[in-house]
Every structure is written in C-alpha cells, then in structure tokens.
Amino acid sequence: MALVPSSSVDPPIIAEVEMNGSDLGATTVRATVVQASTVFYDTPATLDKAERLLAEAASYGSQLVVFPEAFIGGYPRGSTFGVTLGNRSVKGKEEFRKYHASAIDVPGPEVDRLAALAGKYKVFLVMGAIERAGYTLYCTVLFFDPQGQYLGKHRKLMPTGLERIIWGFGDGSTIPVYDTPLGKIGALICWENRMPLLRTALYAKGVEIYCAPTADARETWQASMTHIALEGGCFVLSANQFCRRKDYPSPPDYIFSGLGEEPSPETVVCKGGSVIISPSGTVLAGPNYEGEALISADLDLGEIVRAKFDFDVVGHYSRPDVLSLTVRDHPQDPVLFTSASKTESSEKQLVMKPF
C-alpha cells in the first residue's frame, strides 16, 4: 500500500541528532505523524502495517514517528456495544469480547515487536494502542527508543463520552515526559488535551515535543493544537486515523450507529486532520484531510527557546504565590495487600520490645 507523503521536508536522510550541550538552537529533528487506519479486529495485520509505515517514514530520515490514538487494537467508531441506560445487549457483549481479544498486554509480545521495530528503523516511536489489563481495557500511548527499548506508557486519564463504557480510567502514575536526545517527549490523548491542569503537568515536566494522538477530525481540533503549541512553547504533533467504512468489518458483524443509513464502503468515517505545529503557532505540515499519509516536518528546537522568551507558562509567566497545582503521581490501586511475613516480623518485634 502506497501512502501519499504530506511533508514540509525533502527526502534526504538527516544524521542522528547529537545535542550540542544545552544549545537547542543547534538541533533539528525530523518528525513524522502517521495518518492511517487500523486493520480492525486483526492485530497481527495492524502490526505488519505499522512496520511498513515505519519503514517508509525512516526512508525519509524521520527520527520520531507518532501513530494515532488506538492504532493497535482500533478505535471502535460508530459502535455502541449494545449499551442503553440500564441494559447491555448480548450482541454488544460479544462485540466487546472481540474488541478485548484485539487489545494487547503491556508488557507482552506485541510490545516486544514494537520495541524491535523502533530499534530496527532507529526511531523514537510513539504508538497508540488499546491495552488489556486483565478484563479492563485502557486507551494507551506506548513509548520506544531507537535502541529498541520500551520506555513506558501513558494511559488516557479521562475517556470521553461512550468511551467510558469500554475503557478504564488512567491515573497520575502514567503521565511521563522522557528526556531524549531529540528533546523532552510526552503525550496526551484526544480530548484530555483539553484539560488545562493535565496539560500543565506536562509543561511542568518540561515537555518540548508534545504528542497528541487523537480520534477527532473536526476543524475545531486544529484550534486546540495551535493553542497548546503557543501555551506550552512546544512542538505539537497530532496524529489521527483516516478511515473509510470498508476499513471496519462489514455488517452485520459491525454496525455504525448515529449515521442514519448504513454508510457505503467508500464513505469516509474519519477524515484525519493530522498536523505538526511549531511553538510559534506556525503550521509546519498538514492538516491533511485527503487520505492515508505520512506527514513530516523538520523541527528547529531553537524555536522552543525563542517562544519561551515571550511566554514560559511554568517559568517566568507563572504565579505560584497565587496559583498552584498538585499532581498525585502514584498508582491508585483498588486493593492493597499487607505481606504476611512483614506482619509476623512486626508482631515479633512487638513481643521482644522491652517495656
């Protein structure tokens, strides 16, 4: 499958970045956002497609590649999973079973393969995936480095609308920003990018390359991405899927709700809009609404410093004497166990303690 390049860069491959001390002005990073659809209900085929896309992006010299929200596992657009208030249908439960089977364990064999692909093509990889943790699913972003190492994950903190029926809620323990040779990389997913306090947590961690995998193809999304670039003084890389009805299983196996009559196979059900924006609010590449594409740009990291001179949201433009934010960044476990051995040890200490 040939993708249409949508790019502000020329084909030659850039040499591997070496940071010149703390001089960001000497650093340029070639980044690509992928606009492509999942092979729905077929995770092995989706991973094969991801490799083809990574290989093509690497051939353009890309050093950072960002995939859309839920690329592995799929974004179940148009599905209700048979849910009405007070009721869940048998067919909807079976639909969830199939969706659960398409998700991936983290860690797991699919994560190992993605890590190997990042190492093979020598890119930093930011991948949207549906994570399976027992019987609960999470909308997750996975991070990998060019040495083929899995770095960690971000779980979507606040699923939107009906997403709350099928996805669990993340917590403050997975809001990472990774300090890499390309800059400090972090990610938030879709509408949680509209949460000012959550964005502020990323800004406080020094995010410089802000990844925003999404499922929102509306033009209003572009305003949010531009605002974040200006507010955070960071590059914003937003990746969305471009999907037609035929990219999902055919009816009756998969029914699109809320669109009136069943759409034809060629009907566009998500038109993309993937984009790369600079810290000054300049659109460097995209938005693309035409089809599947690799959207690339060269990021001059000196732009971050120049933007922060005007407005540093958690630096000289903050007022901690008036405004502050507390982030609870520890895991929120539903059940806590006390070790029996520790309990016995404590009891012995109490018995032996002199009065």
Q: Looking at residue 147, what is its pLDDT?
A: 97
Q: Which residues are catalytic?
A: 69
The rounded Cα 66 to chain-centroid distance in angstroms is 8
Ordered by start, the domain boundaries in the chain are 26-352
CA 355 to CA 344: how far, in whole Å?
20
Q: Looking at residue 277, what is its pLDDT?
A: 98
Residue ranges of the alpha helices (H) in the chain? 43-59, 90-102, 109-121, 163-166, 196-204, 220-232, 302-310, 340-352
User: CATH classification of 26-352 is 3.30.70.100, yes or no?
Assistant: no
Pair of tokens at residue 198:
């959550």
What global pTM score does this model have? 0.89
Residue 58: pLDDT above 90?
yes
- Per-residue model confidence as pLDDT tens digits over 177-207: 999 999 999 999 999 999 999 999 999 999 9
Helix, strand, coil share (%) of the chain residues, nearest 5 = 30, 25, 45
Residue 169: pLDDT above 50?
yes
Residue 256: pLDDT above 50?
yes
Q: Looking at residue 17, what is its pLDDT?
A: 39
CA 71 to CA 24: how far, in whole Å?
32
Which residue has tokens 């639909």? Answer: 95
